[in-house]
């Protein structure tokens, strides 16, 4: 008889990556729960999203990370907790850890990571210190708690860095001019949000991933900015006019751009200039998603770009 799948609570399930996590959890057959401040929010788009989740079988729980009683009550109903809270709320995840310790029944906690490996990079800009250092401190609290965990290192979101070739003020790949960050040769890891969510949900009942870093590193999606642009040029059979922003120029842009607009530039520097996603080797604490789950047919950057041709 097949084992039952874990009940999953997704905190931040109406947010950007959270929406993908909820859909992946449903698709993979997990009893899925989300925690919301209000099941009927005033924002029509959010209300419609929650309604669509409910229609798909998702259980909506009213509560808040800052409301200990409602948080503990929610955690008592599930086996696994996935947090996908945004950067401003990363520190609040310590409250989830404390609530999980109180219940004593959570068999896996996946905090809001879904980006760079923050403990194996040097922070170059003060604007990134807050979120990156807070993620590290949350990791320490999770490890101290004794609650089994998985830290998901996803690389860059395709929706942020491929759909617009990492350029500003465009919603699809440009067809005339493109900005290249750095010299265009530094390797980055770029995955679709759907694939990131699928690998995350696949891991929650997998003992091989307990207390490990799950890295999503498809070889076909480990590309430089220049290679992504070249893929696009080949698809449209046209070379783009390129403006190259050097390492020094990008540093100056970051220093002169006001918060919060400078955050994206600082992340571009981290990914496309320094190579923070690819400049370290995996060790015994790391597992790689495409090796663990060869049955997942992930979307390559090349295939992702086809939708825009």
Instruction: Report pLDDT digits (tens) over 98-110.
Output: 999 999 999 999 9
- Rounded to an integer, the average pLDDT of 209-237 is 98
Q: Residue 251 corresponds to which tokens in the numbers above?
A: 């540093």
State the pairing for strand pair 59-62/32-36: parallel
Q: Look at domain 155-190+218-280+294-309 and name its CATH class.
A: alpha beta
Note the pLDDT of residue 87: 84
- Rounded to an integer, the average pLDDT of 265-286 is 97
Average per-residue pLDDT in the chain? 96
Cα 266 to chain center, whole Å?
17
Query: Which residue in 135, 202, 235, 247 is the catalytic one?
Result: 135
Instruction: Report pLDDT digits (tens) over 30-60.
Output: 999 999 999 999 999 999 999 999 999 999 9
Q: How far apart are CA 91 and CA 131, in angstroms?
A: 8
pTM: 0.96
Q: What is the architecture, at CATH level 2, of domain 8-148?
A: 3-Layer(aba) Sandwich (3.40)
* Dihedral pair phi/psi, residue 261, rounded to 5°: -65, -25
Confidence band for 1, pLDDT divided at 50, 70 and 90: very low
Note the pLDDT of residue 13: 97
Please say if the pLDDT value at position 262 is more than 60.
yes
Angle between helices 247-256 and 261-268 (to 10 degrees): 160
Note the pLDDT of residue 190: 98
- Rounded to an integer, the average pLDDT of 262-276 is 96
Note the pLDDT of residue 224: 98
Note the pLDDT of residue 88: 85
Domain residue spans of the chain: 8-148, 155-190+218-280+294-309
Please say if the pLDDT value at position 136 is more than 80.
yes
Between the CA of residue 146 and those of 63, 72, 127, what are the distances in Å?
A: 25, 17, 31
- Rounded to an integer, the average pLDDT of 283-301 is 98
Percent of the chain at pLDDT above 70? 99
What's the number of CA atoms in the CB half-sphere (13 Å) around residue 145? 27
Confidence band for 62, pLDDT divided at 50, 70 and 90: very high
135 annotated active-site: yes
């Amino acid at each position: 008889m097949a084992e039952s799948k874990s009940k999953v609570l997704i905190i931040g399930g109406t947010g950007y990556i959270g929406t993908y996590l909820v859909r992946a959890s449903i698709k993979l057959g997990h009893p899925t729960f989300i925690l919301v401040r209000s099941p009927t929010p005033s924002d029509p788009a959010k209300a419609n999203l929650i309604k669509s989740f409910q229609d798909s079988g998702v259980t909506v729980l009213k509560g808040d990370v800052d409301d200990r009683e409602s948080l503990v009550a929610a955690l008592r109903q599930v086996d696994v907790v996935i947090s996908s809270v945004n950067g401003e709320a990363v520190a609040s995840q310590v409250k989830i850890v404390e609530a999980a310790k109180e219940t004593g029944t959570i068999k896996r906690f996946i905090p809001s990571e879904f980006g760079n490996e923050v403990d194996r990079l040097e922070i170059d800009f003060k604007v990134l210190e807050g979120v990156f250092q807070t993620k590290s401190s949350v990791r320490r609290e999770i490890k101290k708690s004794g609650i089994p965990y998985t830290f998901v290192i996803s690389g860059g979101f395709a929706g942020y860095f491929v759909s617009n070739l990492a350029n500003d003020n465009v919603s699809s790949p440009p067809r005339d001019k493109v900005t290249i960050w750095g010299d265009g040769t530094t390797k980055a890891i770029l995955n679709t949000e759907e694939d990131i969510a699928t690998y995350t949900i696949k891991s929650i009942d997998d003992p091989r991933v307990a207390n490990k870093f799950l890295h999503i590193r498809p070889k076909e999606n480990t590309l430089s900015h220049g290679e992504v642009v070249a893929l696009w040029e080949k698809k449209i059979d046209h070379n783009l006019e390129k403006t190259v922003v050097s390492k020094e120029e990008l540093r100056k842009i970051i220093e002169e751009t006001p918060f919060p607009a400078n955050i994206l530039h600082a992340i571009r520097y981290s990914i496309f200039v320094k190579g923070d996603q690819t400049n370290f080797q995996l060790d015994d604490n790391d597992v790689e998603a495409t090796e663990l789950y060869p049955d997942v047919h992930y979307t390559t950057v090349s295939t992702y770009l086809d939708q825009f041709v």
